[in-house]
Amino acid sequence: MHHSDVLTKKYINDTFERFGLEGSITVENGRTFIETDKLKPHPQNELIYGQDDISDMVTKIVAADKILVPLVITDNFVIISGHRRWKAAVKLGYDEVPCEFVTFESEADELAALVLYNCDRNKTTSQRAREGMSLEHNLAMDAFIKRLSSLKQNQPDMDESSTTEKPSKKEPKSNEDKKSQLTRGKVAEAVGIKSGKSYSRAKTVLIHVDGLKKEGNAKDAELFITVLNRSASAAEDLLKVDLSTLSDDDRKKLALGQLSPSSFLTVGDSDTSEKKYATAKKQVKRMGNAVNALKDTGLSIGNDKQAQELRKEIESMIASLNSLLA
């Protein structure tokens, strides 16, 4: 990435010639101004960050009576940094805005810069996860590590709503799993989500949200986003809930965090119940091994009658244990 410190007259003329935009660029007091209607938002920006409220930005520009920080744009007038400033300028009727040209070696570098320039803004969990999904989709793993390793130093504090889960301590079962876990971890680190597990949960929810939007189900999509921005694990639990059975009051309480999605799950559906069942199953297996050891001991008893009675009792216990495991 290269910042043009000084726009020479030749550079400006070359730009005019390339895009036929005579009159679109002016230079005043060392600052470059571009006509607002010639600028274009980056295609990934709205997908990642959605429709932001710009009322605060409008207020700041009105108070200063100008845009203090130049927008960062590419040679073909695509905005990399300053989408909110640009929208506010359009709303206020500005004919032109201050800009700084930046060139990139590749689209991957351009995308990384889009995220980098937004690292200081206050973002929701869903926005951070959208950043990760875009980076994960567009960047090769080696390029990802190389180009985004500096992001961690520039990130603000981790989003608390995405830090409620601890990273999994389980080792991946295969090389493919290891690669996938490494990728998730790197993505999560770059966009400011606490762990790869939290990122994976948020990604799963957002894929579902995209499906709901395609179906025209904006109401359910909005509920998922609201819950996700509070807790990735809660949003994942919400995937298991039949939303058609919820009352408006239930939805309101879920959105406000007054109800947990897990409260709408049956015992067998909750993660806690699944963990308890897995623990009980392991205990039953241990008991089975112990009983089998007793059976072997019973075979060594000298009194045939006592041995037979003991074996029958042990076999009955084994049958009961096996029924629990079925």
116, containing H or E segment = helix 107-117
Range 14-36 average pLDDT: 68
Maximum pairwise Cα distance, the chain = 109
pLDDT of 112-135, one tens digit each?
Answer: 788 878 877 788 899 899 888 887
In this structure, what token pair is assigned to residue 221?
A: 């999509």
pLDDT in tens, 41-98: 998 888 888 877 889 999 999 999 999 999 999 988 999 999 999 999 999 999 999 9
What is the pTM for the complete model shown? 0.57
DSSP symbol at 259 = S
SS3 content of the chain, % helix, strand, coil (to 5): 60, 10, 30
The second-level CATH assignment, the architecture, of 2-103 is: Alpha-Beta Complex (3.90)
- DSSP-derived pairing of the beta strands 78-81 and 40-41: parallel
Cα 132 to Cα 164, 210, 223: the distances in Å are 18, 15, 21
Burial label, 176 (beta-carbon count in 10 A; 0-12, 13-18, 19+): exposed
Give residue-wise pLDDT tens across range 146-176.
Answer: 555 544 444 444 343 433 444 444 555 555 5
> At a CB cut-off of 8 Å and minimum separation 6, what does 52 contact?
83, 84, 87
Going through 16-70 in order, the beta strands assigned E by DSSP cover: 25-28, 31-35, 40-41
What pLDDT, on a 0 to 100 scale, did the predictor assign at position 286? 65
Give the separation between CA 118 and CA 131, rounded to whole angstroms.
10
Q: Helix, strand or coil for residue 226?
A: helix
Q: Are 124 and 158 in contact (CB under 8 A)?
A: no
Over 138-159, what HEC string results?
Answer: HCCHHHHHHHHCCHHHHCCCCC
Domain definitions of the chain by residue range: 2-103, 125-264, 271-325
